[in-house]
Amino acid sequence: MGKRQTQAAQRQRRRAELIYYLRQRNIPIKYQYLGIGARRFDRLSRSPRYIAQSELGLLKEQTGELLTEVKQSVLRSPPKAINIIDIGCGNGEKAAVLIRWALDVFPDISVRYVALDISAGMRKIAKQTVTDKFNRKASRVEVISKTIDFEEENLLRPLWRFRQDEQALNLFLFLGNTLGNVRDPRGLLVKIAMAMRARDWLLLGLELGISHVSRALLEVYSDPLHVEFLSTALRPFNIKPEAGKGRGHGLIRPEINSDENIEIRFKFTHPSPAIRANGEELRFNVGEYIVLAESRRFQTPELCSLLSKSRLTVARKAQKESGSAVYLCRSS
């Protein structure tokens, strides 16, 4: 099968999957990053109003302190290389902070950046971000990209090479409150813990449940860049959000179920276009809605219990008043 045929088959499969989730009125967030969604997310993530900017700021300010134990372990037993394994890589900006730290602290150790994501567009942007920032030190930074749907697949498959390399240290990144966007947080953490060896580390980024922050999200998710990104999965069906003077089919709004659980919904203000599938038509009426994303916040006791049940031990943590937090963990 040629490249074009393969791409056409992939598009057909994705469309069939999206129609299935449209019928369920709930589309997993991963579909927003595919295709044009990668560029849309990149624009959003560079905006000052993007909520995860606080996590990036936290990493820039506190990486040295957060990674104190990592530094000590490397100095005790220097590895041949440090693999920075970015699960759900996004645009690579956060990983770049960790790469910079590794290059500056360990000038004699090479660094591999491993970008893992379901979206080819996101991996391409992440690779470009890292290449642009570290091209002068290219001999010490190797960039690797692998496709993975980490909710569906075993992480050991794409990471087997790095897990088997006993002369390297693996620093796993799972940032951006991705844990709050998946349907089975514990199952995913167990997968990560199983992929880690005794000497490996995990940086876990998430959002803690703080009531005043949840209320502020009402305005944040109405921002045009958020609306543009979150409507990506509806684009193949010509379902458009209302924007400016242009007439769309509905509004994207957060529904705050609690301080720990927020749903981002597309609520129809006009009937949807007909969506044809297998000889049937699917339509949405005024007042109906589709969940485009779910964002779960964690209370500290719940999170500690979740990590313990996933066989992860917290070594250090850093937190901002906004609720952004990063935990350094080891497998136990």
Q: What is the pLDDT of residue 58?
A: 92
Strands (E), 61-167: 81-87, 110-117, 141-147
Cα torsion 118, 122, 127, 129 to 10°: value is -150
Burial code (b: 16+ CB inside 10 Å, e: under 16) for 255-269 equals: eeeebbebbbbbbbe
Q: Is 70 exceeded by the pLDDT of residue 271? A: yes
Residue bearing the bigger pLDDT, 94 or 2: 94
Do 80 and 227 belong to one domain?
no
- Percentage of residues in the chain having pLDDT higher than 70: 91
Tokens read off for 15? 């469309």
42 within some domain:
no
Do 275 and 167 belong to one domain?
no
pLDDT band (50, 70, 90) for residue 241 = very high
For 25: left if phi > 0, alpha if psi spans -120 to 50, otherwise beta; the answer is left
Alpha carbons 286 and 232: distance in angstroms, whole number: 20
38 within some domain:
no
pLDDT band (50, 70, 90) for residue 261 = confident
Q: Would you tell me the crossing angle of helices 120-134 and 93-105 to the nearest 10 degrees?
A: 40
Do 155 and 172 belong to one domain?
yes
The parent domain of residue 164 ranges over 53-208+298-331
Do 281 and 180 belong to one domain?
no
Q: Are 211 and 220 in contact (CB under 8 A)?
A: no
Give the other-Cβ count within 10 Å of 137's Cβ. Answer: 14
- φ, ψ dihedrals at 292, nearest 5°: -95, -20
Do 157 and 269 belong to one domain?
no
Do 22 and 118 belong to one domain?
no
Q: Which of 120-124, 246-250, 268-272 has the lowest mean pLDDT?
A: 246-250
Do 309 and 289 belong to one domain?
no
Residues 96-130 have pLDDT tens digits of: 999 999 999 999 999 999 999 999 999 999 999 99
Q: Are 172 and 326 in contact (CB under 8 A)?
A: no
β-pairing, 168-174 with 81-87? parallel
Sign of CA dihedral 222, 302, 199, 181: negative
Overall domain count for the chain:
2
Do 181 and 57 belong to one domain?
yes
Alpha carbons 23 and 262: distance in angstroms, whole number: 21
Give me the chain's average pLDDT, please.
88
pTM of the shown model = 0.91
From the list 177, 135, 172, 142, the residue with the least C-alpha distance to 45 is 177
Do 163 and 21 belong to one domain?
no
119 within some domain:
yes
